[in-house]
Amino acid sequence: MTPQERSPISFSVNVARLPKNGMPVRFEANDAQRLEMAKAHDLLEVRRLVVEVDIIGWKKGGVKVTGDVSGEIVQACAVTLEPVEETVEEPISAVYLPAGSRLAKPYNIVEGEIILDPEGEDLPETFTGDEIDIGAIAEEFFTLGINPYPRKAGVEVAVTNEGDDEERGPLFEKLAALRNKL
């Protein structure tokens, strides 16, 4: 999502006015928001979408967002295009720092290269101004929970071996020759 785009479930929270003990936020998308979410994510329908998070101050000027986003959606089956009902339940865990913060810079820099640990925690993201959009954050995590290839129960993809006996052409022969050399 680009900075100019606004999430259909946009919900801004002022970081500067965040209570010391943090702030719980819970909201449920209304009909218009669910319709926009369905359009934005190529879904047939979003029947329910609920966001429950805790927003807590983190280090100097940062914010930690934890909680979950859940919903009920209807998608088109990847095989038959029939409607498939699915449940999305995705945990939310993210850290945000003000733009320009020293803490936002990667800490594993070796000879000009950034070393990332794929199993480690994500680096904090940055924000500008005094607000973060909890709705946009929830939408990102909601998107992660959507099944990219939904299938209706009992539907399988037919796999055939047709074409195995056909001539495979010169490219196949060259690749086979390379494989045999190894």
Residue whose entry in the numeric block shows the structure tokens 């995590």? 141
In the predicted model, is pLDDT for residue 1 greater than 60?
A: no
Listed range (32-41, 62-71, 110-119, 151-160) with the worst mean pLDDT: 110-119
Residue 133 · residue 12 · CB < 8 Å? yes
Residue 46 · residue 73 · CB < 8 Å? yes
Gyration radius from the chain CA atoms: 23
The b/e string for 88-102 (b: 16+ C-beta within 10 A; e otherwise) is bebebebbbbbeebe
Furthest-apart CA pair in the chain: how many Å? 71
Nearest to 124 by CA among 55, 68, 51, 64: 64
What is the percentage of the chain residues whose pLDDT exceeds 90?
47
d(CA 74, CA 146): 10
Mean pLDDT of 81-90: 95
CB-based burial label for 16 (10 Å; 0-12, 13-18, 19+): exposed
